[in-house]
Each structure stands twice: as structure tokens, then as C-alpha cells.
Amino acid sequence: MSSLDFSPRAYVESTIIMTTVRVVSPFVFTFGLFVMFHGAESAGGGFQGGAIVASSIIMLAFAFGIEPTREWLDDDFVRVVIGGGASTFALIGLGALAFGGPFLNYSAYGISHGVKYGIELVELGIGAIVAGVIVSLFMNLAAGFSDEETEGDEA
């Protein structure tokens, strides 16, 4: 927890922000998934949904402090989410090749509504990538730079 020391004042929680985030963040997370699953047939998609899911995590970090959130959601888990999203996309795309169709041609799977399920799984993969990357970018920015790192590093 020594990385908290760089800030001039220690973080003090606000009851108003904590209560609001506690009420709102599950809805935001659900809405992000809703947007992701809607990518197949109406407005929405993995990119927007992933950004909304990531914003629910960032909201938690704002309300409860960044270091506690980093401990709760460790970097390895975020890496697994990003990698899992990418491999879902790749597996669905290459799976179509295995069934004898072109890359990402869902109808090659030969199951009913295969196109819809295929698009939804790919959107979910994209959403996982986007959410994971946004959360890790935020966490990296929030960590700041220590003096040793920035010294002599001026480009």
C-alpha cells in the first residue's frame, strides 16, 4: 500500500459517492452486457458494451479508492479476460474454417440461428477485450509515475 504515499492527501471516501455507486454499478454492468448482446440485430455491440462495463469498474475505483480496487481485481485476472476475449474471437472465426467455410462465416457451423449465436459470441469476446484494456489503461494511468522512473526519462 506504499504506492498511496505519492498523493499529497490520502484518499477519503465520500458517503454520497459510495452509496450512489453501490446502487448504480450493478445496473451499469447489466446494461453493458445488454448492449453487447444487442450487437447482433440492433444498435449496440462489443465496443460500446465493453466501454460501459469498464466504466462500471472505473466507477467502483472512484468510489472505493483505486488501490483497494486494484487489490480486488488483480492484474492477472484482467489479463485473462483480455486473452480470453481474443481467443474467443479467434476460436469462433477459425472454427468456421474447420467446418469448411470462410473465416468468421457463422453459417458454416450448420446449427439453427448459427449466425446470431456466432455474432453474439464474437461481440462478447470483443466486449471482454475492450473492457479489460480500458480497465488496465485506467489502472496504469492511476498508478502514476514515481520520481525514479521519470528522472532522466524526459524525451
Partner 1 sequence: MTPLEYLVSGLVLAGVFFGFVAVVGIIRLPDLYTRAHATSKSDTLGTVLSLGGVVLLFGADVAAVKTALLLLFMFITNPTAAHAITRAAYEQGIEPWTADDGGGD
* Residue among 145, 6, 4, 19 nearest 68 (CA): 4
Cα–Cα dist 25/64, whole Å: 12
Of the pair 47, 62, the CB lying nearest partner 1 is at 62
Cβ 28 to partner 1, closest distance in Å? Answer: 9
Of the pair 62, 109, the CB lying nearest partner 1 is at 62
DSSP H helical segments within the chain, as ranges?
A: 15-37, 46-64, 66-72, 75-98, 114-143, 147-150
Positive or negative torsion for Cα 89, 94, 97, 102: positive
Of the pair 63, 139, the CB lying nearest partner 1 is at 63
Angle between helix axes 15-37 and 114-143 (nearest 10 degrees) is 150
Of the pair 12, 155, the CB lying nearest partner 1 is at 12
Cβ 68 to partner 1, closest distance in Å? Answer: 17
Cβ 24 to partner 1, closest distance in Å? Answer: 6
Contact footprint for partner 1 (CB under 8 A)? 9, 12, 14, 16-17, 20, 23-24, 27, 62
Cβ 74 to partner 1, closest distance in Å? Answer: 25
